[in-house]
Amino acid sequence: QVQLVESGGGLVQAGGSLRLSCTASRSIASILAMGWYRRAPGKQRELVAIISSAGRTNYADSVTGRFTISRDNAKNTLYLQMNGLKEEDTGVYFCKAVIRLLDYWGQGTQVTVSS
């Protein structure tokens, strides 16, 4: 089991940057997959980026080249650096950890991008 707490969301103008953090209640070094997802207003939750324990990453096409996912195992923290933010990036961002085939989710953090 793990508890995940996201932070770093807020209101930012288009073109700006934010860094989201997801702090875990236990060591993440052995967690094979962690990721960021988002739910835009009126839409279903979608994958933004994932990272394996080996550091392999994968991104949604809509964020490739703008967002960077990383993990700091020493701090038990997952990050999402978001640059070049667009209005369509607005939504609630969630982090997820997959442990023994079970999904664990944080409560989410709101990101609002204004024009």
Question: Are 22 and 2 spatial neighbours (Cβ–Cβ below 8 Å)?
Answer: no
Average pLDDT over every residue of 58-82? 97
pLDDT value for 35: 98
pLDDT single digits (tens) 14-57: 999 999 999 999 999 999 999 999 999 999 999 999 999 999 99
Q: What is d(CA 54, CA 96) in angstroms, rounded to the nearest whole number? A: 17
pLDDT single digits (tens) 76-93: 999 999 999 999 999 999
Place of tokens 């667009």: 86
pLDDT value for 103: 96
Q: What is d(CA 64, CA 22) in angstroms, rounded to the nearest whole number? A: 20
Task: Write out the two tokens for 27.
Answer: 């060591």
pLDDT value for 27: 92
Task: Tell me the pLDDT band of 60, cut-offs 50, 70 and 90.
Answer: very high
The mean pLDDT value of the chain amounts to 97
pLDDT value for 52: 95
| Closest among 16, 13, 11, 35 to 24, alpha carbons compared | 35
